[in-house]
Amino acid sequence: MNTGLRPGHRLRLLEGGRELFPAMVAAIDRARRLVHVETYIFVFANAALAVAEALERAARRGVEVRLVVDAVGTPEVPAEWQRRFAEAGVRWRIYAPLGWLGLLIPSRWRRLHRKLCVVDGVVGFCGGINLIDDRDDVVLGRLAEPRLDYAVEVSGPLVAEMLATMERLWWRLQAVGRVRERDFRAAWLAVRAGQRGRRRWRARSPSYESGAGGTAGAVVHGAAAAVLWRDNVRHRYDIEQAYLRAIAAAQREVFIANAYFIPGRRLRHALADAVARGVRVRLLVQGKYERFLQYHAPRPVHAWLLKRGVEIREYAPSSLHAKVAVVDEDWATVGSTNLDPISLLLAREANIVTTDRRFARHVRDRLVHWLGTAGAALEVATLQRRPWHERARDWVAFAVMRVVLFLTGHRY
């Protein structure tokens, strides 16, 4: 389970935008040279406005500020903020614009789903939290209770890797944009600038000390940690393999909170095998109806796992958007990766992984809290007693998912 882990990290667990946004704003307001942000959704309203305003302030004082948003999650930046960013000097790009055919082209399902921020190359943020108010939801509307989600603030060696990966994408987007404009010289210069930029930020590393706090004081120093990626070239299966290794090594407990939980065959069997050897496996999953496939396709998988002794609870008070897991308090991950085919086969994702027992215990404590106070237990009998048309929708959704994967050349 220790592959790729490096010592010497400071980790802070952050719960929801109510903790992430102030931490990001504080870091951005201290920035001296560079702020680089990637997100799937950026809604310029309510609490998330504080982050947009911090980016604007940083650019006005001469900091290089870059923002990348995904075209599906954020189809457009509001005109007012386009003007404000232009006046301040914030540079922004939309990842993989859809064009008039939209998602009818399967290759366009490969989205930028990771949520990252790096400031000056020395402090980073990684998790599942989009830049949207905790009570706002693009599907469900205004929520009665805050969305449940997590991120990690990290400083230490892996931040340089985060920045290098983000820079590769940034300069690729710059180059692709110039190629589309048939400005090939500018495209080549963008590639060269990316190479120089990575060396420049590695060479200059100011000191940084973030604010104290976080969920239940969940700050640890000296943690061994790594950042894991999922892309469609070099890191296709890194995050899934990390989950499989951790589950295979479990001796007492596997605890997963995952918004869109439709694991493939290998993950399903790994969880069932863990139960068979005496490990307690508990899952906290989304309980709200958002979209047809996301709600119905997991049900046959849930039933299969329940029959094999996996405990599953649906999160009831609000939307569950977390993507976190703890194994034996020896391994924990927080990131953007759902255990579903979109995340594991198509999207760009990022997760922080650590074997620090203090941090793992913090994550577990929060999950136990929510499991005990906000989860409705699923049972096989309950699923089977539902009206026949509800059960039929489950299998239709599951079949549609499998057909779509087949058409894109994936087996899951």
Q: What is the mean pLDDT of each run of 10 residues along the chain (412 residues)?
A: 83 98 98 98 98 98 98 96 98 91 78 98 98 96 96 97 95 70 51 56 50 62 98 94 98 97 96 98 94 93 97 94 97 98 94 98 95 85 91 92 79 76
CA distance 85 to 58: 11
Residues in the chain: 412
Q: How far is CA 401 from the centre of its chain?
A: 21
pLDDT for 100 equals 79
pLDDT for 267 equals 97
6-203: CATH number: 3.30.870.10
Report, as residue numbers or ranges, the catalytic residues: 113, 115, 120, 321, 323, 328
pLDDT for 77 equals 96
pLDDT for 407 equals 72
Query: 228-407 adopts what CATH topology?
Result: Endonuclease; Chain A (3.30.870)
pLDDT for 185 equals 54
Spatial contact of 319 and 140, defined as CB atoms under 8 Å apart: yes
pLDDT for 205 equals 46
Residue range(s) in the chain whose domain bears CATH number 3.30.870.10: 6-203, 228-407
Handedness of CA 154, 160, 165, 169 (dihedral sign): positive
CA distance 259 to 252: 23
Spatial contact of 17 and 151, defined as CB atoms under 8 Å apart: no
CA distance 278 to 294: 30
pLDDT for 216 equals 47
